[in-house]
Homo-oligomer: A and B are copies of this chain.
Amino acid sequence: MTGHGHIPEATVARLPLYLRGLDELLVNGAGTVSSDELADVAGVNAAKVRKDLSHLGTYGTRGVGYDAEYLRFEISRALGVANTWPVVVCGFGNLGRALANHTGFTDRGFPILAAIDTDPEKVGTTLDGVPIRAPRELVRVVKDNHIAIGVIATPPEAAQDAVDRLIEAGIRSIMSFAPTVLVVPDDVEIRSVDLATELQILGFHLTGSDSPGSG
């Protein structure tokens, strides 16, 4: 049994939201935080917050809430934020370079140590502090840098090939930004980021505000 075996998947998926919410509340000087406040920033209800946090063994004080700093520590520990997981980015166009310049990756333990690109003009150079290598060099790149996670930032039509190469090189954790369906074996975890999801939620609310009879 692993140390995290008892935390439900749905709870795990919400922990980064709580962490981000806590960061916002701490910036505003909060010493304690209620489940209502956390529910608000994470977009779930307060009962779910309390249940999620109880899986970490963390219980707030009735009428007071949670100690914000301590809760941040507990969630970070559960998420393994203290660990470092080196990342290789496949596809170093605009998106790949945007990720390389994103401080949130390195800050949270996901340094981008290498990129793979097919452009012969880029291969062998260093862009945004990231050395760029050819696809055929991937096995060595993964080994030399102890890469734990592969990120797909290729055009959609090249994404499956990039995924296949990552898996061949021994990578078992993949995050994809490609707006396409990718096939992986059961022992590989792939998580897709859909950049348009939040736009769709904004669009939903705009639809409501424009509908007949509103406001």
Contacts and interface: CB of A to CB of B under 8 A. Distances in A.
Interface string A172-203: 01110001010000000101111111111111
B99 A97 contact: no
A160 to B, nearest CB: 12
Assembly stoichiometry (copies): 2
A2 interface: yes
A199 B105 contact: yes
Given A4-B208, A156-B103, A202 B98 contact: no
Contacts of A134: none
Nearest to A176: B198
A168 interface: no
A204 B10 contact: no
B181 A205 contact: no
A81 to B, nearest CB: 7
Interface in A5-45: 5, 9-10, 12-13, 15-17, 19-20, 23-24, 27-28, 43-45
A213 to B, nearest CB: 7
Interface of A: 1-5, 9-10, 12-13, 15-17, 19-20, 23-24, 27-28, 43-45, 78-81, 83, 85, 87, 93-95, 97-99, 101-105, 108-110, 148-149, 151, 156, 173-175, 179, 181, 189, 191-209, 211, 213-214
